[in-house]
Amino acid sequence: MNIALHPRTYATVTGPHATFVTLDGHAESVTPTGDEDIRHAVVRRATDEARRTGTSIELVTSGDRGEHHLLIDPAGATTPLTRPPDNDDTDDVDEPELGEDGVDDPELGLVDVVASSMRGEEVTVPTPQPGDRRASTSPAAESPTRPTFLTPTPDATTHLAGWRGFLKGLGFTVKPSATEQRRAAEKAVVSRQWAGCRTLAVVNGKGGVGKTMTTAMLAAVYAREGGGNVLAWDNNDTRGTLGWRTEQGQYDTTLRDLLPVAQYLLAPEAGVSEIARFVHHQPADRYDVLRSNPELLATDQRIGTADFDLLMQVAARFYRLVIFDSGNDESAERWLRMIDSSYQLVLPTLANPESAESAALLLDALRGRDERSAALAAHAVVIVTQAEPTGTAEARRIADGFTGHVRAVHTVPFDPALKAGPLRFDNLRPRTRDAWLAVAASAAEAL
């Protein structure tokens, strides 16, 4: 059976350990449960990925038992595949040896291991012996090296400001300051490009703590430094205001307008520019906004799990990074599915006890929800924002309280440009821009 054109996931199996790479390029460890065989655990994880995307996927495994290809549908059915040649020259392609049932060599085949494990049978896999066609062979003798005629591309030059920049303009050799070096390193982190879409959720169960502001500022940093293709998604049932504080695009459309045409946007004939009808581009900050409708009641714009997953497929096709501005209902289907679909959590809080306690309670709830949510909580980034010019000591006290319970804690100073009106990065004071750059770099390190 030849391999059809299906999305691919990959797994590397070494002894009792495995690394699984999702459809959007995220690598994660696979852990067997109980006496489960590691190969069964890999197929189980691939089935979860097929179920999440709603489509059949190809699983490519490699490691100490050779390479195998399986087609896995959302229901968990597995079909062995033979690997086609990567080009038209098929004479030198070695096809796997198949048993009577068309499955890879049962001595080392992943399909047989999984089938036996599913039946509850004991699984034993022999160690490859010298001379086995699957055993590794000695590499060919390396050819003599020669010098290269190409000059490596240098790293981007650190921008010098103030008197250092002035002296450099006069031709003097000046080293960047510690601040300039740190800023350059943070920009290098936030400008990274990933193989596949990444998702980041801005969460706190209390309203008015800066979730919308945080979403807009992070989207601006990632889009300005990384070259766009960033979506700020207002994932809110109850009057999300991201659309109020950002610029409106050419069309007055919301998430409710996008949902009926989602399948068309996923079709091969849909052009990459067609998403522009449903999102609102921010010209200066370079990101797009997917609005909710703040004029509708929650009962008129609830999104279930299936609709959320469909919209997520659209977002992953057109954007490299999605930042969710979440609502306050932590029991809503779309809120829970957002958590399940996110790589990183950012929890904003004001410099007051009530909003900080709300963030802490949310972290506690996530730690007890499931293993993945607990990992998100442990690696979360907390932002303490000063809503008023005073309160620096209180912001520091709250930041110290979160330190050691999450991966990183940052404070953002008071800035009148954040308090009300349109959210634009250029309107911020230099100190505030530096603070948001540091937050974005911390969040991106886990992506």
Give the integer Cα–Cα distance in Å for 279 and 288.
Answer: 6
Structure tokens of 426?
Answer: 């250029």
Average pLDDT value for the chain: 82
Strands of the 280-281 sheet, one edge to the other: 280-281, 288-290, 230-235, 321-326, 198-202, 344-350, 381-385, 408-412
Q: What angle do CA 289, 290, 293 make, to 5 degrees?
A: 120
Residue with tokens 């002035």: 166
Rounded to 10°, the helix 333-341/371-378 angle is 70
Give the integer Cα–Cα distance in Å for 312 and 24.
Answer: 12
Q: What is the mean pLDDT of residues 402-426?
A: 95
Contact by Cβ (8 Å): 20, 69: no
- In this structure, the strands spanning 27-30 and 57-63 are unpaired
Predicted confidence (pLDDT) at residue 249 exceeds the cutoff of 50: yes
Predicted confidence (pLDDT) at residue 380 exceeds the cutoff of 60: yes
Predicted confidence (pLDDT) at residue 111 exceeds the cutoff of 70: no
Across 157-166, 316-325, 331-340, 345-354, least confident range: 157-166
User: CATH code for 184-444?
Assistant: 3.40.50.300
pLDDT of residue 119: 46
Burial class from Cβ neighbours inside 10 Å (0-12, 13-18, 19+) for residue 2 reads exposed
Q: Which has more pLDDT, 441 or 163? A: 441
φ and ψ at 302, to 5 degrees?
-70, 145
Across 32-41, 217-226, 296-305, 323-332, least confident range: 296-305
Structure tokens of 444?
Answer: 């991106």
Query: Which range has highest mean pLDDT (80-94, 115-129, 301-315, 350-364)?
Result: 350-364
Q: What is the mean pLDDT of residues 72-91?
A: 65
Residue with tokens 């007051």: 352
Q: What is the pLDDT of residues 15-53, one digit of tens each?
A: 777 888 888 777 788 877 777 788 888 888 888 888 888
Contact by Cβ (8 Å): 100, 87: no
Predicted confidence (pLDDT) at residue 198 exceeds the cutoff of 70: yes
Q: Which has more pLDDT, 5 or 60? A: 60
Three-class SS state of 39: helix
pTM for this prediction: 0.66
Contact by Cβ (8 Å): 388, 414: yes
Give the integer Cα–Cα distance in Å for 176 and 165.
Answer: 9
φ and ψ at 195, to 5 degrees?
-85, 85
Predicted confidence (pLDDT) at residue 437 exceeds the cutoff of 90: yes
Q: Which has more pLDDT, 289 or 135? A: 289
- DSSP state letter for 183: H
User: In which residue ranges of the chain is CATH 3.40.50.300 found?
Assistant: 184-444
Q: Which has more pLDDT, 96 or 70? A: 70
pLDDT of residue 169: 64
